[in-house]
Structures are given as C-alpha cells and as structure tokens.
Amino acid sequence: MRFAYASRTGNVKSIIDRLGIDAIDVSLSNGIDEDFILFTYTDGYGNVPYEVEDFLDTSSKHLKGVIVSGNKNYTDTYCMAGDVISKQYNVPVLYKVEDAGSDEDIAAIAKIINS
C-alpha cells in the first residue's frame, strides 16, 4: 500500500513524519497508479483542498481510504473534507485527527495503516 498526502500548514506532513512512512506529496505528483491511502487536511469550512481534487481526478480508482486532519474549532465542518471524499469516491474515512494529532492518534493511525 502506498500513501499520498496534502499538507498546507504542516500538520499532515508532521503526521507522515511521525509515522515514518514514505508518502507522495500530491502537490508534486501527477497521480499514482497503485492502491493508496490519502492523508489530507480540511480547507476552510469543510472543503477538499484543490490540490487533492486535482490529484484524485487522475488517481481516484486506486484510493482505498482517507485519513483527515482538521481543527475542532470548526465544529460542524471538522474533518469534513474526509467525509466529502468518502462519499464521492465510496471509500472509508479511516481516521479523523485534530491538527497534527497526539501520540495516541499516531499510534491509532499506525495500527490502521499496518493492518
């Protein structure tokens, strides 16, 4: 399984680094042609980041799940980008994490991606 990510503020990149996984930065990629899990952030009030939309236009058939970061201050739209991607591409939201996550979040995500 491969991994791809989008990170604007560094929170998602921090998650990738703490997991110690090799992941493709979607803003630097033209797509991926093998199964992958997407790590993304939620933009604004529940929006999927534009670079993620572009990436999924060419790669969605290999998408197997999404892990999404958000900020709980956005209450109703917390991690909503993951929900939108899940519905649009019929894949599960594997985990929702606030910002860069706690040590417990990282352990939980590691368990999910390694199972």
Q: What per-residue string of b and e applies to 68-98 under the rule 16 or more CB within 10 Å gives b?
A: bbbeeeeeebbbbbbbbbbeeeebebbbbbe
CB 52 within 8 A of CB 40: yes
CB 78 within 8 A of CB 52: no
- Per the structure, the count of domains in the chain is 1
pLDDT digits 0-9 by tens, 64-101: 999 999 999 888 999 999 999 999 999 999 999 999 99
CATH number at residue 79: 3.40.50.360
DSSP-derived letter for residue 73 is: G
Domain enclosing residue 28, as ranges: 2-113
pLDDT digits 0-9 by tens, 5-45: 999 999 999 999 999 999 999 999 989 999 999 999 999 88
Q: Name the β-bridge partners of 32.
A: none
Whether pTM > 0.85 for this model: the answer is yes
